[in-house]
Amino acid sequence: CSPLAAASSSSLSSTSSSSLGHGQTWREPSLCGCSGSPPSKTAPLWTRKHWACSKTSSWVLLIRTIRFHQPWVRPALPSGDWDAMENMIKIYLQQFNYQINEGAVQNNVPYPFVAQGMAGCTLYPNKTSQAFAHVAYNGQESLSFCVDNATWLLSQDTDLSRYAEAVLKNYTTFRDVLVVLLNDTCIDYVEKLLHYGKVSLDRQELPVATVFARTPSPAQLLLVCRVTGFYPRSISVAWLRDGQEVPPGPDTNTSAILPNADLTYQLRSVLAVAPHDGHSYACRVRHRSLGTRSLLIPWGYSDVVLIAGLVAGLLAVVAMAAVMMLWLWRRRKHQRKKKIKCVCVAS
C-alpha cells in the first residue's frame, strides 16, 4: 500500500501494517495488512478485494492495487513503473505479514497486536533529501533503518523487535534493494511527481473568515471563528485577547480541517468567554496564500464596521447625486437666460 499514488508534497512514503486485532495508530494510518477478522466496508484499507484465511488464522489481503487520488499522479510515471511498484509491494507485504506472525508465534507474543512498517523519502527545497524506514509494534517504534550505513537499529528492546532485527539483518537482498529504493528511486519519483503536479501543488486560495457568537447559557458566550475556502490545507488559527494570543486550553476548541466540495478546506475555532468581561477578542488567521500578512477579524466590530461602511457608501452616493442635480439645475438655468437674451436681441 503506497501513498505514492496520493503524494501532494515533496515527501513520499510507503506504509504497511499487520493489524492482528485493534491497536494504536503509529505515524500513518493503517492502510493494509492482515487483521484478526474480515475488514469492514468502512475500514481505511488500501483495497478490499479478496481475503482468505491464512494458516495462522488471520485474514490476509491477497490482491492489492495502487489507488490514485490526484489526476496528475498516474501520468507522472510510465505504467510499467507503476506495475513494477505494485508487484514489489505485494511481495514485501506478504513477507512482512509472514515474518511478523512467525516472530509472534516463536516469541509467545500475546494477540491481538498491531505491527506496522513505513518507508519513504523527503526532498527539501535546497535539493537535499532524507530517507527513512521504520517498523513499529503497538504504536511504538521498534526498529529504524539507517540508510547511511545500511543497518537496522533497535528502538524498543523486546523479543519481537530483536527477532525482527535478526531477520532483517540476514535479509541482505532486501537491505540492498531498500537502499537503492530510498536513495535513488524514491527521490527520482518525488521530482517527477512535483513536476507533473506543479499546478495543483502551487495552487493557493485565500481563506474567508467570519466571527459570530453563540450563548449556550446566560453565563457563557462562545465565540466562533469560521474559516473556509482556503488551499493548501495547512493553516494557523488563533484567538487574541486584548491583542495577546490565547494559549490552548479548556476554553479553546479547534475542529479538524475538513474538505469542501470545491477542493478547498474549512475549520472552526471556538473560544469560551464570560459575557461582558471587558476584554476585546479577535480571530487571527495565517495561511500560505496570505504571505507574511495575517487575517484579523475582531469580535464585536465586524458588524459595526460593515454598517458604518454601508452608511458611508450611501451618504457618498447621496452627496454625488445632490451635486449632479445642482450642476444640472444651474446649467439649465444658465441656458434659459442665454436663450431669453438672444430672443430679445433679435426683436
Residue 54 pLDDT exceeds 50: no
Question: Would you state the pLDDT for residue 39?
Answer: 38
Q: Where residue 197 falls among pLDDT bands split at 50, 70, 90?
A: very high
CATH superfamily assigned to domain 3-201? MHC class I-like antigen recognition-like (3.30.500.10)
Q: Give the span between the Cα atoms of 97 and 235, in whole angstroms.
A: 38
How much is the pLDDT for 330?
76
Per-residue model confidence (pLDDT) at position 312: 59
Task: Assign residue 276 a region (left: φ > 0; alpha: ψ between -120 and 50; beta: otherwise).
Answer: left
- Angle, helices 159-170/172-180, rounded to nearest 10 degrees: 80
% of the chain surpassing 70 pLDDT = 73
Provide the pLDDT confidence category of residue 243 given band limits of 50, 70 and 90: very high
pLDDT grade, residue 12 (50/70/90)?
low
Q: How far apart are CA 4 and CA 17, in angstroms?
A: 16
- Is the pLDDT confidence value at 181 over 50? yes
Q: What is the mean pLDDT of residues 135-139?
A: 92
282, containing H or E segment: strand 281-287
pLDDT over 80 at 43, yes or no: no
The yes-or-no verdict on residue 308 having pLDDT over 80 is no
62 or 254, which is more confident:
254
- Nearest partner of 283 among 271, 272, 274, judged by Cα: 271
Pairing of strands 281-287, 258-259: unpaired
CA-CA-CA-CA torsion for 39, 42, 47, 49, nearest 10 degrees?
60
| Cβ-based neighbour number of residue 262 at 10 Å | 10
For all residues of the chain together, what is the average pLDDT?
Answer: 78
- Please report the pLDDT score of residue 322 as a whole number: 77
246-278 pLDDT tens trace: 999 999 999 999 999 998 999 999 999 999 888
Residues 6 or more apart in contact with residue 53 via CB below 8 angstroms? 59, 60
Most confident among 23-27, 89-93, 190-194 (mean pLDDT): 190-194
Max distance between CA atoms of the chain, in angstroms, equals 129
Residue 272 to residue 35: CA distance in whole angstroms: 43
Question: Cα dist. 308→85, 207, 312, 314 in Å?
Answer: 62, 24, 6, 10
Residue 66 clears pLDDT 90, i.e. is over it: no
Residue type, 30: S
Provide the pLDDT confidence category of residue 336 given band limits of 50, 70 and 90.
low
Q: Distance from CA of residue 331 to its chain's centroid? A: 65
What sign for the dihedral angle of Cα 330, 331, 336, 339? positive
- In this prediction, residue 337 has a pLDDT band, given cuts at 50, 70 and 90, of low
Express as a percent the part of the chain with pLDDT over 90.
Answer: 52
In this structure, what C-alpha cell is assigned to residue 330? 444651474
- Section 234-244 average pLDDT: 96
Query: What Cα–Cα distance (Å) separates residue 118 from each residue in 32, 185, 198?
Result: 11, 16, 26
More confident residue, 305 or 239: 239
User: Domain extents for the chain?
Assistant: 3-201, 208-302
Nearest to 48 by CA among 59, 64, 35: 64
The segment with the largest mean pLDDT, out of 108-112, 285-289, 299-303, is 285-289
Helix or strand (DSSP H, E) at 226: strand 220-230
Kindly report, residue by residue over 274-300, the tens digit of the pLDDT. 998 889 999 999 999 999 999 999 997
Tell me which residue of 114, 133, 147, 127 sits closest to 26, measured CA to CA: 114
Lowest-confidence segment of 121-125, 206-210, 326-330 by average pLDDT: 326-330
Predicted confidence (pLDDT) at residue 35 exceeds the cutoff of 50? no
Q: Mean pLDDT throughout 239-249?
A: 95
> What is the CATH number assigned to the segment(s) 208-302?
2.60.40.10
